[in-house]
Amino acid sequence: MQVLNISSKYGAWKEDIDCIYYEAINSLKEIDEISYADKVIAYHWKGRILLTDPRTFIEKIRTLSSIILINEDDLEQIKKEFGPPPQLSNGLLDTIAYYTIVTEGIKSYIKREKRVEVPVGPTIFLIPEKISRLYLDIMEKYELKKDDLQALLLYKNPIEIILKIALFHEIGHCVFDNELELKNYKHDKYRKIISEGMANWFAYCLLNKDGKKVLDIISQKEPEEYKKYRLFEDYNKDRKKRKKFDLFVRACLECNVSKVEEAFKTLTPQSFRE
Ligand SMILES: [Zn+2]
């Protein structure tokens, strides 16, 4: 994986981004325990039980060929030339960064216009200019509860926390979207919930306490599907519901869209399905 800067003023972020990428990979290597239940191996990972080895996520993350820093206008131009990627959602996190595939066409366009050689394959476009503003935007535009506002003010480096949240979220898309082939699954009403919910859930699992708190604050004002990680998280905490949750995660990872739909139905209370 290469971190490349096409046109951002924040080229100095390259090193931090590289570190965050490896932090995600290393944290997925930490499995606490492997146990046998119902002849199925369950993995204990960061206080969670998963029927799938979280280390398999690493293989998917390794398919990322690059993380590209770009300014807002240039990214708009690429979207205009090549069509935007299927817009799954317009949540805050996906406006500051997004996961997509660099095609031969995009590669030669960037080479011609920006004289930068980018590899073909899965990538994350990051807009550092927007990431650096997001914290202020949240403070200004959100009507935050007093406690949340105070919590945000306490962080020494809120931009770094938001960068991490954005990157983990997009890496989450790299893990889950590919496998589900969500792009060809246009009419699925659960699509956004699975995609955004799982991406946020993935980020939530990897974040430390401060990161989790900030993600909770950001998600308050996000579209519904971005909040669904709370649902996944609640299921994971409730032992009785854990099995259903694990089946859901496993179905997602097995790339089987109809199974995912089935699992989601059993996982989701009636009120979430309407
Ligand atoms: Zn997303």
Residues 6+ positions from 76 with CB-CB distance below 8 Å: none
Q: How many CB atoms lie within 10 A of CB 165?
A: 27
End-to-end CA distance of the chain: 40
Ion ligand 1 neighbours (CB, 5 A) are 94, 196, 199
Q: What is the dihedral of CA 30, 175, 128, 68, to 10 degrees?
A: 110
> Could you tell me the distance, in angstroms and rounded to a whole number, from the CA of residue 247 to the centre of ligand 1?
22
Side-chain-side CA neighbours of 244 within 13 Å: the count stands at 19
Instruction: Record the pTM.
Output: 0.86
Spell out, as residue ranges, where the chain has pLDDT lower than 70.
37-40, 84-90, 149-154, 178-191, 231-232, 235-237, 239-242, 245, 252-258, 260-261, 263-274
Measure 89 CA to ligand 1 centroid, in angstroms.
7
Residue spans of the domains in the chain: they are 2-273
pLDDT of residue 214: 87
CA of 9 to the centre of ligand 1 (A): 24
Cα–ligand 1 centroid distance for 166 (angstroms):
9
**How far does residue 196's CA lie from ligand 1's centre (Å)?**
5
Question: What pLDDT, on the 0 to 100 scale, is given for residue 139?
Answer: 74
Question: Rounded to the nearest whole angstrom, what is the distance from the C-alpha of residue 174 to the centroid of ligand 1?
Answer: 10
DSSP annotation of 119 reads: -
pLDDT at 272: 47
CA of 34 to the centre of ligand 1 (A): 30
Q: What pLDDT is recorded for position 196?
A: 83
Separation of CA 6 and ligand 1 centre (Å): 22
* pLDDT for res 273: 44
For residue 256, what pLDDT is reported?
64
Beta strands in the chain (DSSP E): 2-5, 33-37, 40-45, 48-50, 66-69, 97-102, 121-126
Instruction: Report the DSSP pairing between strands 40-45 and 33-37.
Output: antiparallel
46-50 contact pairs (CB < 8 A, 24+):
46/205, 48/205, 48/236, 49/236, 49/242, 49/246, 50/246, 50/249, 50/250
> What is the 85 CA–ligand 1 centroid distance (Å)?
12
- Cα(99) to centroid(ligand 1), Å: 8
Q: How far is the CA of 170 from the centre of ligand 1 (A)?
A: 6
* pLDDT on residue 89: 57
| Two tokens, residue 136 | 């202020």
Q: How far is the CA of 108 from the centre of ligand 1 (A)?
A: 26
- The alpha carbon of 36 and the centre of ligand 1 are apart by a number of angstroms equal to 34
